[in-house]
């Protein structure tokens, strides 16, 4: 997140606005509706007559579940079961699927998939002509319905039309992701700004942390099994589908209980953001995990997601000599089948 942000002036358009700190921006999302451009996310499109068949052999999702309503989480793995990227999968029309994913991983995933695409009638391309906007707040659903004329979808579902698609993500406040043409972005941002305060995209990342939802960065590629970031607890792995790259390792780790690290939420004393990969040290001075993501919250504290060993730890834990306070995840650490999520309607 940036250190400060200057929002659009409201009542006095010619007067400069004072910068708003990261902490203040996070606080705005507690009691107000906020909007942001999700620069950290992008769209990778897979299209063609073989698009579904092709993806079925590459990704952890049951691809046929992405039906224009349900939009499941998914991931792509190496043959050793390590995650190369994770994403949300959505169908925009027959034979055209979008992966909403970390922008910095799109090109590498495209190159990885291209090695297998030669056997299928399929095209893979980053959609740089699309923009992603976020809305957070109790009034966010009403704002989408009144301003965009779209009935907001339920969690992990999509709604929209040929011009705009809306997705619902988890979090302590209603959270909606809007996907639209980049050429329409500024007009929609202006429309939303009348009732939603613009903030930095780090506020969205903070809500991901609170939701226990971890998106890979480039430095974390080919490092973790999907279960190490609780992906099966979020419905991001189908254990009922056929083979896909890395499936044997992922399934064996699940059915044999071989997952030795898990994603955890925590808070650090102080306001110094640790780097991704910063070591989590136990009371005996041993490394027991690492920081996965970190953002400053509304109270000036650092909230983190960390990948930690599942064995009993010698407390207290520290990161950069700052004491760690463990926080609860908003979901149980148990398998959730995407087939069941899809059937819930």
- pLDDT band for position 18 (50/70/90)? low
Cα four-point dihedral sign 213, 127, 98, 85: negative
- 213-271 pLDDT, tens digit per residue, is 999 999 999 999 999 999 999 999 999 998 999 999 999 999 998 899 999 999 999 89
Cα four-point dihedral sign 172, 178, 184, 185: positive
- pLDDT score of 15 more than 60: no
- pLDDT score of 179 more than 70: yes
Cβ atoms 71, 90 nearer than 8 A: yes
- pLDDT score of 97 more than 50: yes
Distance from C-alpha of 242 to C-alpha of 63, rounded to nearest angstrom: 11
Average pLDDT across the chain, whole number: 93
Distance from C-alpha of 203 to C-alpha of 314, rounded to nearest angstrom: 32
Cβ atoms 267, 319 nearer than 8 A: no
DSSP symbols for 33-61: -EEEE-TTEEEEEEESTTHHHHHHTTBSS
In DSSP terms, 93 is beta-bridged to 96
Distance from C-alpha of 138 to C-alpha of 38, rounded to nearest angstrom: 19
Cβ atoms 118, 66 nearer than 8 A: no
What percent of the chain has a predicted confidence (pLDDT) above 70? 94
pLDDT score recorded for residue 17: 55
- pLDDT score of 194 more than 60: yes
What percent of the chain has a predicted confidence (pLDDT) above 90? 90
- 107-160 pLDDT, tens digit per residue, is 999 999 999 999 999 999 999 999 999 999 999 999 999 999 999 999 999 999
CB-count exposure of residue 44 (10 Å: 0-12, 13-18, 19+): buried
- pLDDT score of 275 more than 90: yes
- pLDDT score of 176 more than 90: yes
Put simply, whether the predicted model's pTM sits higher than 0.85 gets the answer yes
| Count of residues in the chain | 345
- pLDDT score of 93 more than 90: yes
Nearest to 78 by CA among 284, 224, 238, 242: 224
């Amino acid at each position: 997140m940036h250190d400060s942000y200057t929002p659009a002036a409201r009542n006095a358009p010619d007067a400069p606005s004072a910068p708003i700190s990261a902490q203040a921006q996070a606080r705005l999302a507690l009691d107000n509706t906020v909007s942001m451009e999700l620069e950290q996310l992008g769209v990778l499109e897979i299209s063609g007559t073989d698009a579904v068949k092709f993806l079925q052999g590459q990704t952890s999702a049951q691809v046929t579940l992405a039906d224009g309503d349900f939009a499941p989480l998914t991931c792509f793995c190496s043959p050793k079961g390590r995650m190369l990227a994770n994403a949300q999968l959505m169908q925009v029309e027959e034979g055209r699927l979008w992966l909403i994913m970390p922008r910095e991983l799109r090109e590498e995933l495209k190159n990885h998939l291209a090695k297998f695409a030669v056997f299928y009638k399929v095209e893979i391309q980053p959609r740089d002509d699309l923009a992603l906007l976020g809305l957070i707040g109790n009034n966010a659903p009403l704002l989408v319905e009144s301003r965009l004329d779209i009935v907001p979808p339920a969690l992990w579902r999509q709604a929209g039309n040929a011009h705009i698609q809306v997705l619902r993500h988890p979090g302590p406040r209603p959270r909606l992701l809007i996907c639209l043409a980049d050429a329409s972005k500024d007009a929609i941002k202006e429309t939303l700004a009348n009732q939603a305060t613009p903030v930095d995209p780090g506020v969205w990342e903070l809500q991901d942390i609170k939701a226990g939802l971890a998106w890979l960065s480039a430095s974390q590629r080919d490092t973790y099994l999907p279960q190490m970031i609780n992906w099966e607890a979020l419905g991001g792995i189908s254990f009922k589908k056929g083979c896909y790259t890395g499936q044997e390792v992922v399934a064996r780790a699940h059915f044999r209980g071989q997952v030795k690290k898990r994603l955890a939420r925590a808070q650090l004393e102080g306001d110094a953001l640790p780097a991704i990969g910063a070591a989590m040290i136990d009371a005996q001075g041993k490394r027991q995990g690492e920081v996965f993501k970190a953002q400053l919250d509304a109270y000036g504290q650092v909230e983190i997601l960390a990948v930690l060993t599942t064995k009993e730890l010698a407390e207290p834990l520290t990161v950069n000599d700052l004491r760690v306070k463990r926080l609860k995840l908003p979901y149980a650490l148990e398998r959730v089948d995407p087939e069941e999520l899809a059937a819930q309607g």
